[in-house]
Amino acid sequence: MVWKLITYTELYTPVLPYKSTYAIGVVENEEGVRRIVRVDRKFFGKLKIGMVGDVVESWSVFGTIPVFMPAGVEVSERRVALVTGGARGIGAAISLELARLGYLIAVADISRDAEAEKTIKAISDAGSKALFVEMDVSKYESVEEGVKKVVGEFGRVDVLVNNAGITKDAYLQRISPDMWDAVIRVNLTGAYNCSRVVTPYMIRGGGGVIVNVSSIVGLLGNLGQANYAASKSGLIGLTYTLAKELAPYGIRVVAVAPGFVKTRMALAVPTPILRDYLRRIPIPRLVEPEEVARLVRHIVENEALNGVVIPIDLGTTISSPKA
Amino acid sequence: MEVGVVGAYSLKYELRSSKEVWDMIKEVVEGVLGKVDKGIGKDEIDLVIVSNFSDRFGGLTHTAPLVVSYLGLNSTKGFRVENACVSGGTALYIAWNFLRSGLAKNALIVGFEKMSYLPSSMEVNEVLMQAGHPEEVLVGSPFVSLYALIATAYMSRYGAREEDLALVAVKNHENGLRNPLAAMQKKISVEDVMKSPYVSWPLKLYDSSLITDGAAALIVSSEPRRYTDTPVMLRSIAMYHDHPGVSQREDLTALRAVRKAGEEAYRSAGITPKDVDVMEVHDAFTIAEIIIYEMLGLAERGRGVELVREGVTAFHGEIPVNPSGGLKSKGHPIGATGVGMVAEIYWQLRGEAGERQVPGAEVGLVENHGGTGATSVVAVFSR
């Protein structure tokens, strides 16, 4: 039976009990029979009156829902990931991993240096395409401009990895207001800025994934890192909240909480402290950036993950006393 | 037998009222009793009809005895009516029939809804959605999406643009500025509407009426001149239905119930659309007002947008539509909506509408509908 779409709408206002966005259409067959149907949100922006297709019955707990499947509509366009702090460290590893998964990568970083060039080359060597976006995540206008550039070039944003982060470690009395603000602005406000700017594009695009790179320090605290730990804990609250708010729009929000990762940031920690840390955790080594990247890839691919903080820490969170 | 409105009262509609519904009800009951020119005794009210869509919007059912109790517990009979967004129009329709048949002499109609009672628009839309066709509910089609299906079909057939629909919102918000009862007194431009986010493409936030709290009351009498020298006569009232589901309708861009109810109301009142001086119509979404123009004979099919484009239905136009600000700017507290529309026409025809008074208005019309127009009540009033 061939069904023809005679009118449609893209619903961006989720309604209970479905808590989801989708398109709704009225279809008609050759005999003039009409039905109201749902259309998957992956067809947002692609529906047209007169389109033909099939109607399949889709089971749900709330009842069996008629779903229209338009025939011959190409939805396999390449997906886009925006990785902040994507030029180096964990960000570069994530950029490369998602590139291997077939994503076009927007590498957002503060400046285009030799490391950024290396990452961009690795992405194109992996068969994908990279766009470097000079972005200061702590500045809203800079994020707006950068995201506009990404959408202008790649047409959409499907994955946002809030990875950009800095440290300015000291004990409380030595953390100046500037040191406090700088860390919060980049690590936490930066994630807010990027999430807020990117979300409307994700909604129109039919959903997406936001991965916040938190830290075990955000779960456990750490001597000399009040500002950094507060920012990483803040990311966890942001993750939980946005996971609730954005789920109806098809946007999942998940945080990863790595232990010490073999990057410039961790290696800047004084060696005696790092050695002492390793002696106290079950697997005494540093996490590889690629290991974090593989977890991020899994989060992107596994649609059941939402609103959780996943430690990747070699057992730090189960070590006693807490690392 | 003649039937006339002898009193009207309305709370200011609000996006989030701090009042409980029982206090809202009490306030409008006392308010309307105090507004009858020559006074009316509580014991003279022999019929109470309460218009309320859902107990999830206020947490209260069985409200007629509450009203009768406020009246002093005499022999008054009462009940609640629910007919989706046309609960208020339906209450008037029933009152008219009771009064005309001599079963009652004076009816008190109370409409209320406290939509902010639910914590999120996701839940509000679920409750409203349940007034649709069962298949629409199953698919998960809130009202905005059903009107969007109508809008898409209309725009595709007649070449109307989103900017055209926006003009309705701009007009009604401009009208609302003159109405102290309006929930959202805010001037907006076509650009504002166009920039507002899509809720269900092609309809945007500013194409949509307001989720509102409010209450209103009327007293309708079969001996109107006993209570005032200037009653507003209910000349005719008609109710019609359409298939509840948008997909069931032969013409997706028409509102059959509105057309049929309009035709009958005009015929019974012995008038034509040209005789009407002021209208309050059910602009739940901007597209609805455009189609209502066409259904009520103000414009040819597909040419409704021209009326708003040319200012014909503007406040200073030939036939002002929704001088109150309509559901768009005044607000849409479901059970109160139809009652409030009649109150507005009552004030307009008595010359009591203040800054929003349509000069010299003698004949007024109310079009109140439920669902996506599955039930419509059209009433004609005159001085």
Residue with the two structure tokens 């232990």: A259
Q: Please give the DSSP secondary-structure letter assigned to residue B358.
A: P
CB B140 to CB A65 under 8 A? yes
Pick the CATH number of A80-318 from 3.40.50.720, 1.10.10.10, 1.10.1370.30, 3.90.209.20: 3.40.50.720
Residue A91 burial class via C-beta count within 10 angstroms: exposed 0-12, middle 13-18, buried 19 and up: buried
Domain ranges of chain B: 4-118+212-226
Establish, for the pair of chains A and B, how many residue pairs have beta carbons separated by less than 8 Å.
104
What integer pLDDT is reported at residue B303 of this predicted model?
Answer: 97
Q: Which residues of A are catalytic?
A: 228
Q: What's the pLDDT at B1?
A: 80
Which of B72, B14, B2, B1 has the alpha carbon at shortest distance from B340? B14
Of A19, A24, A34, the CB nearest to B141: A24
Residues whose CB falls within 8 Å of the CB of residue B181, separated by 6 or more in sequence, listed in order: B10, B11, B12, B13, B324, B330, B340
| Whether the domain at A3-70 and the domain at A80-318 fall into the same CATH topology | no
- B133 neighbourhood in chain A, CB within 8 Å: 36
List chain B residues with CB under 8 Å of A34: 247-248
Question: Which residues of B are less than 8 Å from A37 in CB distance?
Answer: 139
User: B141: which chain A residues are within 8 Å (Cβ-Cβ)?
Assistant: 11, 15, 24, 36
Q: Inter-chain contact B203–A63, Cβ cutoff 8 Å?
A: no
Cβ B245–A36 below 8 Å, yes or no? yes
**What would be the CATH architecture of the domain defined by A3-70?**
Beta Barrel (2.40)
Architecture of domain B4-118+212-226: 3-Layer(aba) Sandwich (3.40)
pLDDT mean for each 10 residues of chain A (323 residues): 96 94 97 96 94 96 96 83 97 98 97 96 97 98 98 96 97 98 98 98 94 96 95 98 96 97 89 90 96 98 98 91 68
> What is the rounded CA–CA span in Å between residue B130 and residue B139?
11
Q: What pLDDT does A323 receive?
A: 66
- Judged by CB atoms closer than 8 Å, whether chains meet at B140 and A8 is answered as no
* Site from B54, B135, B147, B247 to mutate, A interface, most A CB atoms within 10 angstroms: B247
Q: Tell me the per-residue pLDDT of A234-268, one tens digit each, with 9 for 90 and over.
A: 999 999 999 999 999 999 999 999 999 999 888 88
Q: Which residues contact A260 (CB under 8 A, 6 or more apart)?
A: A266, A269, A274, A277, A286, A287
> How far apart are the C-alpha atoms of A247 and B141, rounded to whole Å?
18
What per-residue confidence (pLDDT) applies to B21? 96
Q: Give pTM, 2 decimals.
A: 0.92
Q: Do A19 and B122 touch (CB under 8 A)?
A: yes
Active site residue B332: yes
Residue B201, φ and ψ in degrees, nearest 5: -50, 135
Task: List residues in chain A touching B: CB distance below 8 A.
Answer: 6-20, 22, 24-26, 34-38, 49, 62-66, 200, 204, 248
The distance of A79 to chain B (nearest Cα, Å) reads 23
Give dist(CA A251, CA B30) in Å, integer. 50
> A7 contacts in B (CB within 8 Å)?
149-150, 152-153, 156, 252
Write down the ipTM of this complex: 0.94
The pLDDT averaged over each successive group of 10 residues in chain B (383 residues) is 96 96 98 98 97 96 97 95 98 98 98 96 95 96 98 97 98 98 98 97 97 98 98 98 96 98 98 98 98 98 97 98 98 98 98 97 98 97 97
* Mutant choice from B118, B120, B201, B253 vs A, greatest count of A C-beta within 10 A: B201
Tell which residue, B74, B72, B24, B23, has the closest CA to residue B46.
B74
CB atoms A34 and B148 under 8 Å: no
Which chain A residues are Cβ-neighbours of B139 within 8 angstroms?
Answer: 24, 36-38, 65-66
Q: Which residues are paired to A69 by β-bridges?
A: A54
Taking the CA of residue B379 and the nearest CA in chain A, the distance in Å comes to 32
Inter-chain touch A15–B150, beta carbons under 8 Å: no
Can you tell me which residue has the tokens 């695009």? A205
DSSP result, B93-118:
HHHHHHHHTTS-SEEEEEEEEEGGGS
Mutate to test the interface with A, among B139, B144, B203, B204 (most CBs of A within 10 A): B139
Residue spans of beta strands (DSSP E) within chain B: 4-10, 47-51, 77-81, 106-114, 198-201, 203-204, 213-221, 232-241, 278-281, 363-370, 375-382
Cα B327 from Cα B370, distance rounded (Å): 13
pLDDT at A273: 87
Whole-Å CA distances, A141 to A129, A147, A193? 25, 10, 9
Nearest-CB residue to A24 (from B123, B133, B145): B145
Task: Quote the Cα angle for A93-A94-A96, to 5°.
Answer: 65
pLDDT, residue A101, reads 96
Q: Which residues of A touch B54 (CB under 8 A)?
A: none
pLDDT for A231: 98
pLDDT of residue A265: 87
pLDDT by residue (tens digit) across A21-59? 999 999 999 999 999 999 999 999 999 999 999 999 999
Would you state the pLDDT for residue B280?
98
Is the CB of B156 less than 8 angstroms away from the CB of A22? no
Question: In chain A, which residues have their Cβ closer than 8 Å to the Cβ of B125?
Answer: 13, 15-16
Q: Quick check: A14 and B245 CB within 8 A?
A: no
How far is the C-alpha of B294 from the C-alpha of B300, rounded, in Å? 6
> B200 and A16 in contact by Cβ < 8 A?
no
Q: Which residues of A touch B122 (CB under 8 A)?
A: 13-16, 19, 248
Query: Could B135 and A9 be called an inter-chain contact, meaning their C-beta atoms sit closer than 8 Å?
Result: no
pLDDT in tens, B69-78: 999 998 999 9
Which of B126, B129, B139 lies at the smallest CB-CB distance from A37?
B139
Task: Look at residue B177 in the predicted model and tell me its pLDDT.
Answer: 98
Q: Which residue of A has its CA nearest to B252?
A: A7
Within 10 Å of residue A205's Cβ, how many Cβ atoms? 23
pLDDT value for A135: 97
pLDDT at A81: 98
Catalytic residue (one of B133, B173, B332, B369): B332
Query: Which residues, 6 or more positions from B126, have their beta carbon under 8 angstroms from its beta carbon?
Result: A15, A16, A17, B142
CA distance A108 to chain B (A): 27
